[in-house]
């Protein structure tokens, strides 16, 4: 294989274009803790070993699912063979969508920390397709929705702290200028959370959403939007047993009363977990193309909606998504989708 043949192609204009190359996250290994005193503590290590093993099993299942669909997959690896202390545990490269975005024919990254564990992957991307910066803000595909010529980019209120330019955060000026030169129209919102946790653009004219996210009549005029029926964590009784202890941030079924594990995760693995209390049904889905989508669980109303729009759902159960706070969209990063910059609103 030549050096050029080993390069990873980069392209992405819409979330629903045919997926051909995809980055899938990687978890941790229990052996990382081998030389630390906690390795002998079964109350802590047995659950961690279960998370490590089952997370990798699920990743391998996802790799097979995508490869069977004709998608070439790539995996990052964070080398932490020997931990010196609990204070230097960096979060595994679980969720590439939180660190990168593919917009047009460029791979964007704005923080050096976000690139930890992905070095070997980035080395395989041609320099002409790379846009690497080190700025205060984060470019995350989880906050960015691609619909051909239009990009919908959500920011945190804190992104305004360094000032605004034409209504968008000044820190992103170079990147936004680059996008505009490519012909994109960029729309900015300030909801302050991951867009892929609250809405999914399934295909042209079709959206699944939680309530009160945005005025779709203005942003997606004429599109069919299914609002997921109200759901509550109260219907998942076991989570209520641990919710206050973990601040609503994570959950490992069966360990609701394991105070040693809870204290350990809250203290030392705080950067590993997110905030799972936001939603029960996961709209965090991955489109293989306009007619095929991967989702985490079954919902009759949503599946009926898919059938109406001729979309075939594939269920992939990421068992520990309530620990990692990440669904199928978060734990992947599409690197190459067929398609061009179409104008879906022109």
Angle, nearest 10°, between helix axes 42-68 and 259-268? 70
Q: What is the pLDDT of residue 237?
A: 64
Distance CA 1, CA 3 (A): 7
Q: What is the pLDDT of residue 80?
A: 67
Q: Show the domain range for 262.
A: 19-337
**Which has the closest alpha carbon to 20: 62, 72, 56, 81?**
72
Across the range 148-165, mean pLDDT stands at: 86
| Token output for 120 | 């070997």
**193 falls within a domain:** yes
Q: What is the pLDDT of residue 325?
A: 85
Q: What is the pLDDT of residue 236?
A: 60
**Phi and psi (nearest 5°) for 151?**
-120, 125
**157 falls within a domain:** yes
**229 falls within a domain:** yes
CA torsion sign, 315 to 318 to 322 to 324? negative
**Phi and psi (nearest 5°) for 307?**
-60, -40
**6 falls within a domain:** no
**8 falls within a domain:** no
Distance CA 242, CA 255 (A): 8
Across the range 6-15, mean pLDDT stands at: 96
Across the range 45-52, mean pLDDT stands at: 96
Which residue in the block uniquely carries the two structure tokens 């595994």? 92
Distance CA 239, CA 220 (A): 35
Q: What is the pLDDT of residue 330?
A: 92
**Which has the closest alpha carbon to 117: 85, 92, 83, 81?**
92
For 89, 233, 251, the CA distances from 239, given in Å and listed in that order, are 26, 7, 7
Average pLDDT, the chain: 88
The pairing of strands 19-24 and 332-337 is antiparallel
Whether the per-residue pLDDT at 346 is higher than 60: the answer is: yes
**40 falls within a domain:** yes
Of residues 77 and 122, the one with the higher pLDDT is 122
pLDDT digits (tens, 9 = 90+) for 259-317: 999 999 999 998 888 877 665 557 889 999 999 999 988 889 999 999 999 999 999 99
| Token output for 294 | 């991967």
Exposed e or buried b per residue across 102-117, where buried means at least 16 C-beta atoms within 10 angstroms of its C-beta: bbbbbbbbbbeebbeb
Across the range 41-59, mean pLDDT stands at: 96
Number of domain units in the chain: 1
Whether the per-residue pLDDT at 1 is higher than 90: the answer is: no
The pairing of strands 206-209 and 199-203 is antiparallel
Q: What is the pLDDT of residue 137?
A: 74
**213 falls within a domain:** yes
Q: What is the pLDDT of residue 233?
A: 53
**321 falls within a domain:** yes
Distance CA 26, CA 233 (A): 28
pLDDT digits (tens, 9 = 90+) for 89-103: 778 899 999 999 999
Across the range 158-167, mean pLDDT stands at: 80
What CATH number has the domain bearing residue 154? Answer: 3.75.10.10
Q: What is the pLDDT of residue 103?
A: 97
**Which has the closest alpha carbon to 15: 160, 266, 165, 208?**
208
Contact 148, 344 (CB under 8 A): yes
Contact 7, 105 (CB under 8 A): no
Q: What is the pLDDT of residue 4?
A: 58
Across the range 247-270, mean pLDDT stands at: 91
Whether the per-residue pLDDT at 232 is higher than 60: the answer is: no
Contact 329, 286 (CB under 8 A): yes
- Provide the 3-class DSSP secondary structure of residue 24: strand
- Provide the 3-class DSSP secondary structure of residue 245: helix
pLDDT digits (tens, 9 = 90+) for 18-28: 999 999 999 98
E strand intervals along 14-163:
19-24, 72-74, 101-103, 106-109, 130-132, 144-147, 150-154
Query: Predicted confidence band at 31 (pLDDT cuts at 50, 70, 90)?
Result: confident
Q: What is the pLDDT of residue 16?
A: 98
Query: Predicted confidence band at 88 (pLDDT cuts at 50, 70, 90)?
Result: low
- Provide the 3-class DSSP secondary structure of residue 188: strand
Across the range 158-165, mean pLDDT stands at: 80
Q: What is the pLDDT of residue 277?
A: 66
Across the range 108-135, mean pLDDT stands at: 90
Contact 45, 30 (CB under 8 A): yes
Across the range 139-159, mean pLDDT stands at: 90
């Amino acid at each position: 294989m030549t050096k050029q043949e080993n390069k990873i192609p980069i392209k992405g204009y819409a979330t629903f274009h045919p997926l051909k190359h995809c980055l899938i996250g990687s978890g941790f290994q229990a052996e990382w803790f081998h030389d630390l005193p906690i390795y002998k503590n079964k109350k802590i290590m047995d659950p961690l070993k279960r998370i490590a093993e089952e997370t990798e099993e699920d990743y391998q299942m996802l790799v097979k699912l995508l490869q069977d669909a004709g998608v070439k997959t790539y995996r990052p690896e964070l080398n932490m063979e020997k931990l010196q202390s609990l204070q230097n545990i960096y979060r595994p490269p679980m969720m590439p969508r939180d660190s990168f975005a593919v917009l047009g024919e460029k791979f964007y990254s704005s923080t050096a920390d976000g690139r930890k564990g992905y070095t070997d992957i980035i080395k395989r991307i041609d320099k002409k397709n790379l846009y690497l910066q080190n700025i205060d803000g984060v470019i995350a595909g989880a906050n960015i929705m691609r619909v051909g010529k239009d990009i919908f980019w959500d920011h945190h209120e804190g992104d305004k702290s360094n000032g605004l330019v034409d209504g968008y955060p000044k820190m992103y000026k170079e990147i936004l200028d680059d996008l505009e030169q490519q012909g994109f129209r960029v729309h900015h919102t300030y909801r302050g959370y991951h867009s892929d946790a609250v809405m999914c653009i399934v295909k042209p004219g079709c959206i699944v959403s939680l309530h009160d996210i945005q005025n779709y009549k203005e942003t997606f005029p004429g599109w069919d939007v299914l609002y997921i029926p109200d759901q509550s964590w109260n219907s998942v009784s076991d989570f209520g047993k641990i919710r206050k202890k973990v601040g609503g941030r994570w959950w490992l079924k069966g360990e609701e009363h394991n105070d040693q594990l809870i204290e350990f995760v809250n203290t030392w693995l705080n950067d590993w977990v997110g905030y799972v209390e936001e939603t029960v049904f996961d709209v965090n889905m991955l489109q293989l193309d306009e007619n095929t989508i991967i989702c985490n669980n079954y919902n009759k109303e949503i599946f009926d909606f898919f059938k109406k729009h001729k979309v075939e759902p594939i269920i992939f159960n990421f068992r520990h998504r309530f620990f990692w706070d990440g669904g199928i969209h978060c734990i992947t990063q599409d690197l190459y989708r067929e398609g061009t910059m179409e104008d879906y609103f022109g």
